[in-house]
Structure 1
Amino acid sequence: MPKFVICFAQAHLNFRLAELRSLAIIENVTLDFDQKDLLEQSPFLVVGIDTVENAKKLLNRAILIKEIIQLWAADDTLEGILLKAKNLPAEYFAPYRTSSFKFDISVFGSTLAIPDQVEQINRFKFLPLEGKIDLKKPEIVFTVYQDFYANANPKDIPDKPVRLFFGPFLATSNRGLIQTYDLKKRDYLGTTSMDAELSLIMSNIALARPGSFVLDPFVGTGSFLLTSSHFGAFTLGADIDGRQIRGKGNNKNIESNAVQYDLTNRILGTVVCDIAHHPWRETEFWDAIVCDPPYGVRAGAKKIAVNPKSLPKTSVLNPDGTYKLPQTIPYELDDVLTDLLSFAAKYLTPGGRLVYWLPTVTETYDPKDVPRHKRMRMIDNCEQDFGKWARRLIVMEKLQQHEPDLDLDALLVEIEKGIQGVNALDEQDMRVGDDGLVTLIDNPAHAKFRNHYFNIGEGETQ
Structure 2
Amino acid sequence: MPKFIVHFAHFHEDFRLAELEALTLLEDVVVEYDRASYNPESPFLIVEIESALQAAKLVRRGILVRSIVEYWGSGSTYEELFAEVRRQPERWAEYKSCSFKFTVEAFGKSLSQKEKISTIESFSFLGFEGPIRMKNPSAEFFVCEEYGESHEPLPFETPRRIWFGRVVGRGSRELIDRFDVKKRKYLGNTTMDAELSLIMANQALARPGCLVYDPFVGTGSFLMTCSHFGASSMGSDIDGRQIRGTAGFRRDVDGINANLAQYQLQDLVLDTAVFDVCRNPWRDGMLFDAIVTDPPYGVRAGAKRLGRKNGTIPERSLRIVDGEESHRRADYYPPTIPYEMSDVISDLLEFAAEKLVVGGRLVYWLPTVADEYEPEDVPAHPALRLVANSEQPFGSWSRRLITMEKIAILSDTDHLLSEQGSLARDPAHKNFRDRYFTKFKRDPEDPELN
TM-score relative to the length of structure 2: 0.88
The residue aligned with 1:447 is 430
Note if 1:253 corresponds to 2:235: no
Distance 1:305 1:105, change over 3 A: same
The residue aligned with 2:325 is 322
Question: What letter corresponds to residue 448 of structure 1 in structure 2?
Answer: N
**Contact 1:148–1:157, Cα closer than 8 Å, also in 2:** no
Unaligned runs of 5+ in 2: 328-332, 442-450
Unaligned runs of 5+ in 1: 406-432
Q: Secondary structure at the match of 1:63?
A: coil
In 2: Cα distance, 1:167 partner to 1:11 partner: 23
In 2: Cα distance, 1:309 partner to 1:374 partner: 31
Distance 1:188 1:131, change over 3 A: same
Q: Secondary structure at the match of 1:255?
A: helix
In 2: Cα distance, 1:368 partner to 1:167 partner: 42
In 1: Cα distance, 2:313 partner to 2:293 partner: 32
Q: Number of aligned pairs? A: 425
**Contact 2:57–2:169, Cα closer than 8 Å, also in 1:** no
Q: Which moved more, 1:376-385 or 1:438-447?
A: 438-447
Q: Deviations over 1:362-410 (max 9, x none)?
A: 1111222211101111111110000111111111111156xx99xxxxx
The residue aligned with 1:347 is 355
Distance 1:321 1:116, change over 3 A: closer
The residue aligned with 1:143 is 142
Question: What letter corresponds to residue 259 of structure 1 in structure 2?
Answer: A
The residue aligned with 2:224 is 226
Question: What letter corresponds to residue 303 of structure 1 in structure 2?
Answer: R
**Contact 1:283–1:346, Cα closer than 8 Å, also in 2:** yes
Note if 1:213 corresponds to 2:221: no
In 1: Cα distance, 2:92 partner to 2:201 partner: 39
**CA drift at 1:184:** 1.0
**Equivalence map 1:54-453=2 (5 Å):** 54-90=54-90, 92-149=91-148, 153-155=150-152, 158-248=156-246, 251-308=253-310, 316-319=317-320, 322=325, 327-400=335-408, 434-438=414-418, 439-441=421-423, 442-453=425-436
Question: What letter corresponds to residue 358 of structure 1 in structure 2?
Answer: L
Q: Secondary structure at the match of 2:172?
A: coil
Taking only the aligned residue pairs, the percentage that are identical comes to 46
Q: Secondary structure at the match of 1:446?
A: coil
**CA drift at 1:306:** 4.7
Q: Secondary structure at the match of 1:93?
A: helix
RMSD: 2.4
**CA drift at 1:361:** 0.9
Q: Deviations over 1:173-193 (max 9, x none)?
A: 221111111111111111001
Question: What letter corresponds to residue 108 of structure 1 in structure 2?
Answer: F
Question: What letter corresponds to residue 102 of structure 2 in structure 1?
Answer: F
TM-score relative to the length of structure 1: 0.86
Q: Secondary structure at the match of 1:303?
A: strand
**Contact 2:360–2:406, Cα closer than 8 Å, also in 1:** yes
Q: Secondary structure at the match of 1:144?
A: strand
In 1: Cα distance, 2:26 partner to 2:314 partner: 49
Distance 1:118 1:311, change over 3 A: closer
In 2: Cα distance, 1:133 partner to 1:321 partner: 71
**Contact 2:307–2:313, Cα closer than 8 Å, also in 1:** no
Question: What letter corresponds to residue 165 of structure 2 in structure 1?
Answer: G
Question: What letter corresponds to residue 318 of structure 1 in structure 2?
Answer: R
Question: What letter corresponds to residue 68 of structure 1 in structure 2?
Answer: I
In 2: Cα distance, 1:20 partner to 1:112 partner: 29
**CA drift at 1:157:** 6.3
